[in-house]
Amino acid sequence: MEIKKIIGNVTEFFNEYVAPVHKITSVEESENNGWKLTVEVIEEKEYMKKYAKDEMLGVYDVSLNKEKEVTSYKRRDIRYRSAINQEV
């Protein structure tokens, strides 16, 4: 149930401050007893629809403390939604 709470906290944070979460692709415990997540969101949805372009997907690294509160986030990548993910 711990991961469920972490995902809920991150989703709530992103919905309020960044953009609605499209997908959470990883959840890992970090070395400092906190958590690291990788979150994908749809960027500039209306603009892309207007010009009949593929949606842009932002990939964010998110850190949480041991109380499961978001302490930082950073956009690591932005790509077309249809592009193949190059991560291994």
pLDDT value, residue 55: 79
pLDDT value, residue 88: 40
What global pTM score does this model have? Answer: 0.82
pLDDT value, residue 31: 86
Strands 56-64 and 35-43 come out as antiparallel
Residue 39: closest CA among 27, 25, 20: 25
CB-CB contact of 60 with 18 (8 Å): yes
pLDDT value, residue 32: 84
Average pLDDT by consecutive 10-residue portion of the chain (88 residues)?
92 95 95 93 71 79 96 93 63
b/e string for 44-83 if b means 16 or more Cβ within 10 A?
Answer: eeeebeeeeeeebbbbbebbbeeebebeebeeeeebeeee
pLDDT value, residue 53: 67
